[in-house]
Amino acid sequence: MKLPTLARYTYIFAALNVILLLTGLLALLTVLSWRDMLSKPIGSNPDIYSRLAISDLVIYGGMIGAASTFLTVIISLWTFATRPTRDNAHTLPIRLYMGSLLITLFITLIAASLIWFSTLRERTLFTPVWSALPTPQKIYIQNDLQCCGWFNATLPGLFTDDLMTGFCEDPDIIRRDPDPNVTLGCVDKFDKKADDVLNNTFTLSYGFTGIQFFLLITASAIANLRIQQKRFMRIDYKLRNGKGAFL
């Protein structure tokens, strides 16, 4: 049996809200794991790239977005608890839902765009991070990425005597830059590692906005269908009571 139009849209609306809830849970769990990672001392392990790429601003943005998502899903429950009647289309719950969803959409868009923008200026962002990094972690990065110093293996390139160990014990024998006077630094290889973390983050965030946009369209359709159903119920009532079909 074919479902009435309003019922079909309501089922779609419910399914999309479940997906929206899952995106909020995913965002919250991710930022909580990042916050736990940031609360610990920087270690010499593969997590160091995520540890340095993620900032407190990203975590706070994720928490705000997750909270807004949960609030939106809670408001959606009110829409399921109401039905259009002859006297009231009950569009207030769906209108409040759409307002909350718009706020969530803007928060997600702004957070994703800020992360994307940060990927365009990684050298500027991460140079002070390298400078502030303890020597053991710099040595780990050099050994792991097989590079020396930040820009190159010179003092102006942020390479000091205490970093001349492991892979960089003798920088003179390391494969050089096209410029024969410059030994390759870690900046480009580190930026690529950080890029992987940040690109995945903002791409996933933009994916969330797609779900939110479809929900917004579905909610708009439901609001319109409720108004139509109220009108038809009033017409039917007048016809049944011999009052004519005009409203």
pLDDT tens profile 46-91: 889 988 888 888 899 899 999 999 999 999 998 888 776 666 556 7
Tally of structural domains, the chain:
1
pLDDT in tens, 126-152: 999 999 899 999 999 999 998 888 988
What is the secondary structure of 158-171 as a DSSP string? Answer: T--GGG-SGGGSSG
Q: What is the pLDDT of residue 87?
A: 63
Cα-based distances in Å from 170 to 60, 147, 150, 163, 165: 43, 12, 16, 10, 8
d(C-alpha 8, C-alpha 3), whole Å: 6
Q: 67: which 2 tokens?
A: 């909270």
Q: Can you give the pTM of this predicted structure?
A: 0.80
Residue range(s) defining the domain that contains residue 77: 5-133+194-240
Is 245 part of a structural domain of the chain?
A: no
Is 246 part of a structural domain of the chain?
A: no
d(C-alpha 198, C-alpha 112), whole Å: 9
